[in-house]
Each structure stands twice: as C-alpha cells, then as structure tokens.
Amino acid sequence: MVSKRFFVIFTIVFALLLGLPFTSTSQRQPNVEQRIDALLARMTLQEKLGQLQQLDGEANGNFRPEHRDLIRKGLLGSTLNVRGAQRTNELQRIAVEESRLKIPVLFGFDVIHGYRTIFPVPLAEASSWDSAAAEASASIAAAEARAAGVHWTFAPMVDIARDARWGRIVEGAGEDPYLGAAMARARVRGFQGHDYSAVNKVMACAKHWVAYGAAEAGRDYNTTDMSERTLREIYFPPFKATVDEGVGTFMSAFNDLNGVPASANPFTLTKVLRGEWKFDGFVVSDYTAVLELLQHGLATNEADAAQLSLNAGVDMEMVSRLYNQHGAELLRSGKISQATVDEAVRRVLRMKFRLGLFDRPYADDARERSVILSAANVSAAREIAGRSIVLLKNDRETLPLAKNLKSIAVIGPLADNQVDMLGSWTGDGITADVVTLLTGIKSKVSPTTKVSYAKGCEIAGDSTQGFDEAVRVARDADVVVVAVGESAGMSGEASSRSSLDLPGRQLELVKALQATGKPVVVVLMNGRPLTINWMAENSHAILETWFAGTQAGNAISDVLFGDVNPGGKLPVTFPRNVGQEPLYYNHLNTGRPPDANNKYTSKYLDVPWTPLYPFGFGLSYTQFRLSNLQLSAPRIRADGRITVSVDIENVGPRAGDEVVQLYIRDVAASVTRPVRELKGFQRLTLRPAEKRRLEFMLGPEQLGFYDREMRWVVEPGEFKVMVGNSSADPNELVASFEVQK
C-alpha cells in the first residue's frame, strides 16, 4: 500500500517535472460530473433539448444559415457533415463566443474507411483478418478527420450480415461474431485511442444497434425478427466488444426488432446497453429514425414518437426535431420526466468533456494541411489494401505475373475507373487521388512491356459495342487482366440487390476474352459476395479486391506481380446462387443434414447446398501445412481452460501469410449448437520452410452459450476442435476434449 502510494506520487512529480500529461482526460477532469451539474442547473429546457439535437449540415460540408442562429441561441448541440477546419471553427466560434452557456458544438461525420486518404471498404479490411491493419487505418482516418475539425465518426458499423443481398454488408466485417468483434475492437481502438481528446483521435460510434444486418430478404430498412439467443450470440458480440473498448456512442438502428423498432426499444437500449453492459456514453438515433416511428406504426403522433425514443434510451435525435418540438409539452403532461431529459443531456455533455471540447474547441488549419493525405497515410493505404486482397483461384500458377511480359491487356469497366474504387461512404475522399488498376499496372511493369487497355462495356447496361475492341486487345497480349464487378453505388445504404450476378454484360465480356485462349486473370471489385460460378470454373485466376480505396491500383498490382503475396481470407460466404441466401458457415445442423444419397435431407434440387467459396477461404502463392495438433488436457472443468497448439509450416517456394483458424463444436447441449464456430485466428508471415508453433486458449468465454433461461453456461460433454485454413478445409486437423460435470 505504502509503496504503491509512493509510486503514484513519484510518477506524478516526475511527470510534472518533464511536463508530460500523466493521466487521461477523464481523470484530468475529476470534476466533470460536477461541471455538468453546474451547467444543468443553469440550462433552460430549450437549451437542454438543444443539446439533444443533431442537424445535417448538408453533404458538401457547408452549413445552413439557420444553424448559425440555432447555435447562437444554444439550441443545437451537434451537426453532421460539416467539416474542414475553417468551416467547423466558424460555427464553433459562434457556440463558444456568442452563445449564453458557451457549450461547444460536436461535429459528427461518417468517416467509415478513411477521411481523405481512403482505405479499403470495411468488408475488405475484415478480409485481412488482421486487427492491427484495421486499427491502423482507423487511426489514420481519425487523425485526418480530427485535423479537419471532425470530433465524432459514425463508425464502426459492426452489424453482422449473413445475407449478401443487403447492400450494407460492405460496411461491416461480414458474417461472423468472433471476427466481427475482433475488427470492432480494433477499429474503436484506432479511432479513439486511450484518450480521444487527443488532436489525432475522434470519438467512435457503434452502429446500428441492433440487428439491422438481418433485414428480411436482404432489403434495406426491412424488419428483423429473431430469438433473444440469436441476438445475444450472433448480433450482440461485436457491439459488446466496442463497449469493452470504451466506445463513446451508439447509434440506434432503423429496423423493427421483434415488434419494437430499434430506435424505441427499451430492451436493447436500456436493459442490455446500460443495465447489463454499463455503457456510459450516449445513443444517437439514425437519420430521422425517431420520426419514422410513425411509419412503423408504433407512434400515434410526433410527440408520441419523441416520447417513445427518449424514454427507451435514445439521447440525441438525428435530423428530425421531435424532441425539440415536443419536449416541453411532453414534460408538462408527464410523458417524459425531467430526470430523463437531464440524464440524456448529461451523457451528451460527458462526451463533449471527454473529447476535450471545453478546453480546445477549435481545429488547427495548419495541422489540417500537413496531416491530410500525407505520404505516410497514402503508403499505409496501399499496404493495408494489399493485406485485404483475397486470392480465390490460381490455376497453373497464372499469378504472380512476370513484370517483363511482352504485353498485357487490361480490360473492363473497372480497369481504369477512379470513381468506383472508393466504394460506398467516401468521407472527404476525391476521385482525382485514386490510382486505377491500369495506372498501377503501368507503373509496375518493365519499360518494354506493352500495356494496352480497352473498356469492353459499362458496369451496367446492355451495350456490347466495346467487345470487339476488347477481344482484339486481348488477342495481342500474353495475358489478360479483366476488372469487373459492381459500381460503388450498388452496395451501401439503400443498395440491396435481388441478384448477386455480375451486372450488365460483364460476364459475357469475360467469356469473350476467355474464348481467345489467353490466360485470363479476373480482378473483382465489388461490395458484397457475387455469384461467379462460371468464372470460378473457367478463368485462370481470380482476385477478390473489393473496393480497395485511394491506392487500389497500386495495391492490386503489388499482388498481381508478386511484390505482395496475398494472404486475405473471406469474411463472408460466397453462395452459388442468390436463392441460397442467407448462407453462413456457423449454422445449426438440422435433424437431416445434407446427404447426397438421400433426397429427404436438407438441401436443394437445383444447386449444391455448399457455398462456392466458404467463409475463411483464401489462397496464397505459397503453400502451408498444419500438423501436430495438441490439446493441453483430455478433459477440463466447466470453468477451466485448455490450450490448443499446432504447427504451421510454409512448404512452398515463397514467403507468405497464412491465417490459421480455430473452430469448435459443442457436440450435444441443452440448446442446439452450430456445426462450427470460429473461436480463434492468427495471421502470420512465414519464410519458405519456416515452421512455427501456435497456441490458442479456450475458456468459458469461448465454450459457453446462452441456455434456455438466457444464462451463459459451459455445459459438460464433448467438444470438437478443428484447426484449418478456412471453415471448410478438407485437410483440417481435428481433436476433441471433454468438459466434466
């Protein structure tokens, strides 16, 4: 005790001498809650409701003249989309110098995968299975955004998505709660750091709470209806991970959830989030989601909508103004309480303090100029994009390509396309910064290599006019690289599709190129799994590059020519046809699991039940071998832990990355369990012939589940452990152990 106190005093004195900050912001301001009390005591009801209001400053970063006025009167707590040091400072000055209580404005913006330097879309980053990469990209995005006056990003989106029709699958980490939680944690860490009052950090927002990704039929904004167990085991974990990481805010979703829309759902917003998880930040509604309670048929009028959301636990209202318009009357009639209003305001102010806005409200435009799109940021974007690329097929070692080929044909509507590479949610990214695939290839090959280009066709549309030229260009080349896929606008919000096929005439273009007999490398650029059976069967090589961001062309070329050996793995299942959706690896077994020799089992008449590419799948230019799987004990107690160890060896010709994946199956339990569940993974780089022993730990957090009474339990019985390079690795290693009574 004495020595601990001595150590603390010593550290403080030492830090003071050095002039170092020695505590986090919240610790530096032990009296934050008292300062909030003091503010609350002085605030009028309208000023309080103003703190609960967020308005859209319009997409081009301007703000509406009305906002100036509202801020001057203390009636607007936050904006979205206003950005840039100069613009934000202009508004902030009004808040801090002209409003009665001088409460700073909170500037929010969708910094989803980069601010100006755009990184690969989040689904791509999840394909890296590399949380350090996701953290690094979020950290750079935060530094750029904060320099531009943005305090708060509406990210990460941590919605689990099991249905590729849903366009917003591109914004998340795919279908798995374990991988999703790892990515969620990394991204919050990257955005916020340990102290988001820092000049290079922003406050994060876990969205969309909750189950938005389960929209029926993959149609955006649609209803979701699911068991509490599925919510808790599949959809909650990435959100819980963000709370564990100290996320500042949550966003309530648009969807109906089991009959109570997520933006008015006391179970999720209060019982789970505040009660069970002790979240002390605030919840913002999604865009006009409070008003939409009328359309849902939950609210009878606007005042009712405000009351339902606020009482359920939505603190700040985005864009619609019902709290403001009806707060006073609701308070008078007793439909909301003063305590509820004060608590919501307290949460918002707490985050403004935690962001350091009362001490440093302004952005610094010199910093903005030096940080944004810096050479270091751009090179990180290239590296992270390279780590996100997944090699789906590589027959006869078509890839990597030699840099001194005589000639390469670069073809396709996405081959020289700056617009779509950025994907959905482009932050402040601009297309002029984007390196296209054609440019990337040209700067990679030797000066003697002839690179010719033809567009072939558009992404969508019916014209085949460009086919002849494309075929001519292909015939003249040693190898054809064809870039096909979706436009950026085909995934993202309000961009669900009922077909997962390549749009337009692109598949015909690929077929025409294939008919030339030249080796064809397909470079896919897309925001969701696509049904690519023909290419999977006939093309020589396929690279899944998603939308790889500002440095797309350079990163893809690094992989095409072998400077980077691809090590990404799919974070989501690729179906053979859209009718298989939702298709995901961690499903239950059914009483009649598929059996090719028995019609009366769970499958389709017209398509195999298996995916085209399974979750976790991805190839490399080298090969790896797993061996020597061992468990530290044959049996453990329910509260015990077991270590799983395995050797991984690079048995191929080049250095490369493998993602070793550990799955478990609880063979029989009081509640049926998935056929497999990911419970560990490690991405590592090995030189040729290098061998390493990896360890994974399994304990109650990995082995448990929610029982019939929704209690987390580890039940006795047999557990299988499977270690492989995907969720369907034919050479995976298997062992079992027992949990004892």
What are the catalytic residues? 286
- 212/574 with CB nearer ligand BGC: 212
CB of 372 to ligand BGC, least distance (A): 21
- 170/694 with CB nearer ligand BGC: 170
Q: Which of 71, 70, 167, 201 has its CA nearest to residue 527?
A: 167
List the beta bridge partners of residue 625: 649
Does position 80 bind ligand BGC by CB under 6 A?
A: yes
Q: Which uninterrupted H or E stretch holds 640?
A: none
106 close to 78: Cβ distance less than 8 angstroms: yes
Laid out side by side, the sheet with 450-454 consists of 390-394, 541-544, 520-525, 479-485, 407-411, 450-454
DSSP notation for 51-67? HTEEEE--TTS---HHH
Does position 286 bind ligand BGC by CB under 6 A?
A: yes
CB of 27 to ligand BGC, least distance (A): 30
Q: Which of 528, 532, 545 has its CA nearest to residue 435?
A: 545
CB of 286 to ligand BGC, least distance (A): 5
- 62/645 with CB nearer ligand BGC: 62
- 25/495 with CB nearer ligand BGC: 495
- 49/170 with CB nearer ligand BGC: 170
And the tokens for 558? 């690094």
Backbone angles phi, psi at 403, to 5 degrees: -75, -15
Distance CA 529, CA 535 (A): 14
Q: Which of 207, 224, 206 has its CA nearest to residue 215?
A: 224
Q: How many residues can be counted in the chain?
A: 741
Does position 478 bind ligand BGC by CB under 6 A?
A: no
Distance CA 195, CA 29 (A): 12
110 close to 204: Cβ distance less than 8 angstroms: no
With CB under 6 A as the contact rule, the residue among 63, 107, 152, 287 that binds ligand BGC is 287
CB of 287 to ligand BGC, least distance (A): 4
For 137-186, give the secondary structure using H, E and C: HHHHHHHHHHHCCCCEECCCECCCCCCCCCHHHHHCCCCCHHHHHHHHHH
CB of 422 to ligand BGC, least distance (A): 16
DSSP assignment letter at 388 = H
CB of 491 to ligand BGC, least distance (A): 13
Distance CA 735, CA 696 (A): 14
CB of 112 to ligand BGC, least distance (A): 8
With CB under 6 A as the contact rule, the residue among 151, 207, 382, 683 that binds ligand BGC is 207
Which long-range contacts does 679-684 make (Cβ < 8 Å, 24+ apart)?
679/178, 680/178, 680/644, 681/129, 681/178, 681/179, 681/182, 683/128, 683/129, 683/130, 683/567, 683/657, 683/658, 683/659, 684/648, 684/657, 684/658, 684/660
> Cβ-closest residue to ligand BGC?
154
Distance CA 199, CA 196 (A): 8
- 57/361 with CB nearer ligand BGC: 57
- Other Cβ atoms less than 10 A from the Cβ of 741: the count is 8
- 61/704 with CB nearer ligand BGC: 61
- 327/427 with CB nearer ligand BGC: 427
Question: What mask, x for binding ligand BGC by CB under 6 A, covers residues 323 to 362?
Answer: ----------------------------------------
And the tokens for 371? 């940080």
- 469/493 with CB nearer ligand BGC: 493
Residues 679-738 close enough to bind ligand BGC by CB under 6 A: none
Sign of CA dihedral 253, 254, 257, 259: positive
List the beta bridge partners of residue 251: 284
DSSP notation for 274-327? IIIT---SEEEE-TTTTTTHHHHTS-SSHHHHHHHHHHHT--BEES--HHHHHH
CB of 521 to ligand BGC, least distance (A): 35
Residue in this structure with the two tokens 């001519």, named with its chain if needed? 472
CB of 55 to ligand BGC, least distance (A): 12
And the tokens for 374? 């810096």
CB of 132 to ligand BGC, least distance (A): 25
Does position 673 bind ligand BGC by CB under 6 A?
A: no
Residues 102-121 close enough to bind ligand BGC by CB under 6 A: 110
Residues 484-523 close enough to bind ligand BGC by CB under 6 A: 493
- 156/386 with CB nearer ligand BGC: 156
Task: Give the C-alpha distances (Å, rounded to integers) separating 632 from 635, 692, 736, 739.
Answer: 9, 18, 11, 13
With CB under 6 A as the contact rule, the residue among 63, 107, 152, 154 that binds ligand BGC is 154
To 10 degrees, the CA torsion angle through 360, 361, 367, 368? 160
DSSP E strands: which ranges in 313-412? Answer: 317-318, 390-394, 407-411
CB of 111 to ligand BGC, least distance (A): 10
Helices (H) and strands (E) in the chain, counts: 24, 24
With contacts defined by CB under 6 A, how many residues of the chain interact with ligand BGC? 7
- 207/569 with CB nearer ligand BGC: 207
Laid out side by side, the sheet with 635-636 consists of 635-636, 733-739, 717-724, 656-666, 677-686
Sequence-separated (6 or more) residues with CB below 8 Å from residue 442 = 451
- 154/358 with CB nearer ligand BGC: 154
Q: Which residues bind ligand BGC (CB under 6 A)?
A: 80, 110, 154, 207, 286-287, 493
